[in-house]
Structure 1
């Protein structure tokens, strides 16, 4: 499909056609990892579509984790080995192990803390309620790739205290050990610059671009059970 081959007469919406074309170019390496994507206006002119159409296509790709945005700088291509469809309920270790990577977790801390306003709102508890906080660094082929900060209701946290958090995904523990049936996840993606904590955890330079994913996972009957901040290296 070339730059002029989007079809207004197709039953497939233009934004979906553009999304699929850009996805193919990203996965084929035409848009290389960590390089800046063309701007919305450039893509609109190149493919003869409106900026609204471009924005919809880029929004879909961002939800898939293929691109990330840095405020004031633009849109960039994510690193392939850290790619995960974050809207699915497959944990990172499970996802990457299936692709032949060695995945382990470095447990930084496991403690019980009072829920701040954001955590309380997400988990549906009163502010100040005790919740479990788990911090882990994910290593793929022994290289730090992401920092995961997970919040769980206290009863679930107590059940995870003795679980194997080094080699197992929390999703699998919740399903297999705790007997929960997980349903859907609400996902938001943006970008931040590495602070001192991220610099140390991910072995990056201060101020490096980091993809930030906020994910709230619910049980099949809609109860929020797992609130996470995921920070992925952008290099």
Structure 2
């Protein structure tokens, strides 16, 4: 009787990690380039064994790495499937949302909730270096990415800049680009603070979340090239469908 167990081809022990990494990287590239779409089934373990001429354990090592990276998920008895990847924006660059997402192939849209003149409260006034009660422009928007709501953005600007904003443009244009292109106000830098919060009932309803769901909260104060604060905002982001990323280097 012959054994049905497939034996590994004779490969030096030092080459084994390279072999499973090669399979992992080739599968990873196909996922990231869109050759396999979210929830599409990957070739079976037997098919991958035949394609690469390796044993089941090597294939499982490669698939295990992809699962740990959350690029695939496994369904017992059915196989491995491409996971729904999270779009992300790099925090290391000062960019508007549409400006960052467009080149990555994502569709963006802003649902404008309100555009109004309000009196600056103590926190807004302090951030924008104004007197309490000074009129400022307040903008409330729900950001949509690929037709799904991903964040609630509340922004305050000095009135001389806020008056240049138009409701019909805010559906598709970033405030950053309006400031630079329409208001001739080049951006300089931004200060950020991040923490985790729970969605209140109103925010949860706007973002399609259950009340109390965890969210990422970003407080951002953007300055112009001369160092003047011009854009103060709070972003409340869904943590299940979107990511912010940053690379840090040790100096």
> Do they superpose with TM above 0.5?
yes
Q: Report SS of the residue matched to 1:160.
A: coil
SS of match in other structure, 1:207? coil
Q: Could you tell me how far apart the structure 2 residues matched to 1:30 and 1:217 are?
A: 36
Q: Which residue of 2 aligns with 1:144?
A: 149
For residues 187 and 213 of structure 2, what CA distance do their matches in structure 1 show? 34
Deviation (angstroms), 1:29: 6.5
- Corresponding residue for residue 171 of structure 2: 166
Spell out the pairing of 1:34-113 with structure 2 (5 A cutoff): 80-81=86-87, 83-113=88-118
Aligned pair partner of 1:114 in 110, 119, 125: 119
2:135 matched residue in structure 1: 130
Asked if residue 201 in structure 1 is aligned to residue 239 in structure 2, the reply is no
Contact (CA 8 Å) 1:87, 1:187: kept in 2 or not? Answer: no
RMSD: 1.7
Q: Residues 118 and 136 of structure 2 are in contact (CA less than 8 Å); yes or no, is this contact kept in structure 1?
A: yes
Report the counterpart of residue 38 of structure 1 in structure 2: none
TM-score (norm 1): 0.66
Bigger drift between 106-115 and 83-92 goes to 83-92
How far apart, in 2, do the equivalents of 1:185 and 1:128 lie? 24
Hey, what's the Cα distance between the residues in 2 that align with 1:124 and 1:87?
A: 25
Q: Does 1:175 align with 2:180?
A: yes
User: Contact conserved, 2:115 with 2:167, CA < 8 A, in 1?
Assistant: no
Larger Rg, first or second structure (1 or 2): 2
Q: CA deviation at 1:87?
A: 4.1
Q: Deviations over 1:213-235 (max 9, x none)?
A: 00000001100000010111011
Q: Distance in 1 between matches of 2:67 and 2:117?
A: 44
Q: Does 1:188 pair with 2:193?
A: yes
C-alpha displacement of 1:151: 0.3
d(CA) in 2 for partners of 1:155 and 1:203? 34
Q: From the superposition, tell whether residues 116 and 29 of structure 1 become closer, same or farther in structure 2 (CA, over 3 Å).
A: farther
Q: Distance in 2 between matches of 1:159 and 1:168?
A: 13
Name the CA distance, whole Å, in 1 between partners of 2:127 and 2:108: 28
> 2:67, 2:94 → 1: CA distance?
27
Aligned-pair distance for 1:162?
Answer: 5.5
Unaligned ranges ≥5, structure 1: 1-27, 34-78
Aligned to 1:25: none
Give the one of 23, 30, 42 matched to 2:68. Answer: 30
* Partner Cα distance (1:32, 1:97) in 2: 24
Does structure 1 conserve the Cα–Cα contact (< 8 Å) formed by 2:155 and 2:234? yes
Distance in 1 of aligned mates of 2:215 and 2:95 = 21
Deviation at 1:31, TM superposition (A): 5.1
Q: Displacement, 1:111?
A: 0.6
Structure 2 Cα separation of the partners of residues 108 and 222 of structure 1: 30
